[in-house]
Structures are given as C-alpha cells and as structure tokens.
Amino acid sequence: MLRFLIVIAICLLIASPVAWAVVRGLRTGKLPHSDSSTFVQRSKAPVRFWLLMLFFLALLAMLGWTVFRAGHQAFG
C-alpha cells in the first residue's frame, strides 16, 4: 500500500505540469516546453506543435499505465 501511495505521489508530481501544458496548449494554441518562457505556436509551427503534443500525451498515458499497474500489483 505504501508503495502504491509513493507511485501516486510521484506520478502526480510529474503529470500535473504536463497536463496543465496540454490543456493550455489546446486552449490557446501555444504549447509551453522546456522552461517557462519557451512556446511552440500552432499557427507558426503546426508539425512541431502536434509532435510535442503527442509526446506530452504519450507521457501522460505512460504515467497512467504506471499507476494502473501499481494499483493492480497492490490490490490485485
């Protein structure tokens, strides 16, 4: 159970800024990356924007899978 809680905490620490960046990118068309002042704009670089969006979504999916597997192992 403690291992599951540690996995949840670590995944939330990683996933919260990534999820915020994805929501902000979809809402405004500007996807922040690498620091707080660097953005990829959907109108100026659409391929780069969608590749970075795909990478962020894959990272969120991987974190979700990690939480699922940890829960399955803890309560399984």
Q: What is the pLDDT of residue 53?
A: 96
Domain count, the chain: 1
| Residue 58 confidence class, pLDDT cut points 50, 70, 90 | very high
- Euclidean distance between CA atoms 62 and 56, whole angstroms: 10
Q: Give the pLDDT confidence of 47-57 residue by residue, as tens digits.
A: 999 999 999 99
CB 31 within 8 A of CB 49: yes
Q: Residue 32, SS3? A: strand
Residue 37 has pLDDT above 90, yes or no: no
Domain span including residue 13: 2-75
Amino acid at 43: S
